[in-house]
Amino acid sequence: MDSNTLYIASLNSGSNGNCYYIGNETEAILVDAGISCRETEKRMSRTGLCMSKVKAIFISHEHSDHVKGLCTLAAKYNLPVYITSGTLKGCRFNLRQDLIRPLCSNQVTQIGTLAVTSFLKIHDASEPHSFMISCGSTNVGVFTDIGDPCEQLIFHFKQCHAAFLEANYDDEMLSTSSYPYFLKSRISGGRGHLSNKKALNLFNTHRPPFMTHLLLAHLSKDNNCPELVKALFNSHAGNTEIIVASRYVETPVYTISEQIAAYSI
């Protein structure tokens, strides 16, 4: 197997909890821990993933659907948690001090042979960050909870062989939904979430020719439809496989490298 190969899976994706696995043959990280420790373990076991390979957790921001399983999971496995000071202050819990590691913008954190690049994103949270995880020359991005694509997001998206990309809502479904006006404004106002239309524009305009997989993430339960958004992206996908990450169940484990595009169940 190519030493640059990465294995990725969404363990859960949505407002009810977010957790993403990225690793190679020897080590892995989790981005966010928004489902319970027990559910994280169950979902990893079902896909053949091993908690012993997980060496760190990276937290994107403090909203509960990204951190509610963090304390138990980190403590049980003694996992270092990379988190900004602003995000930590915004969390409503006391994470074990010995597990806290500082996270800063535009830094590269080495976790064994994995290099994790963190950078600021546009979202209504304190110091929210996106991540690109690299193994050799293979890159996977985790780009969710984004109000609008910024220059840094575009720069990193152009380098990705695979990415988790938010496609939170359909514009028409949101506008005609029963959500109150303030919530509609929060979602679509530029610091909330990324619409199908904006996500597709990013994909069409900046997708690199070597991107093999795109996992559409953080879909709204009420204002989006998995079949709708998959059909929308499939009509533009070319050689990129489109997967919709579920809010109810884990995805298969996808194999990402420069040479191959495959997945294992």
Domain-embedded: residue 1: no
How much is the pLDDT for 259?
A: 61
Distance CA 135, CA 115 (A): 6
Domain-embedded: residue 265: no
Domain-embedded: residue 261: no
Which CATH number does the domain housing residue 32 bear?
3.60.15.10
Count of H-run helices and E-run strands, the chain: 9, 15
Residues of the domain holding 13: 6-256
Residues 95-144 pLDDT 10s? 999 999 999 999 999 999 999 999 999 998 999 999 999 999 999 999 99
Domain-embedded: residue 208: yes
Domain-embedded: residue 99: yes
Instruction: Categorise residue 119: left if φ over 0, alpha if ψ from -120 to 50, beta otherwise.
Output: beta
| Residue numbers of the chain with a pLDDT score lower than 50 | 261-265
How much is the pLDDT for 2?
A: 64
How much is the pLDDT for 3?
A: 75
Instruction: Categorise residue 103: left if φ over 0, alpha if ψ from -120 to 50, beta otherwise.
Output: beta
Domain-embedded: residue 230: yes
Domain-embedded: residue 56: yes
Contacts of 183 (CB under 8 A, 6+ apart): none
Beta bridge partners of 220: none
Backbone angles phi, psi at 237, to 5 degrees: -75, -30
The number of folded domains in the chain is: 1
How much is the pLDDT for 262?
A: 43
How much is the pLDDT for 33?
A: 98
State if pTM tops 0.85.
yes
Residues 172-195 pLDDT 10s? 999 999 999 999 999 999 999 999
Domain-embedded: residue 73: yes
Half-sphere exposure of 31 (CA within 13 A, CB side): 28
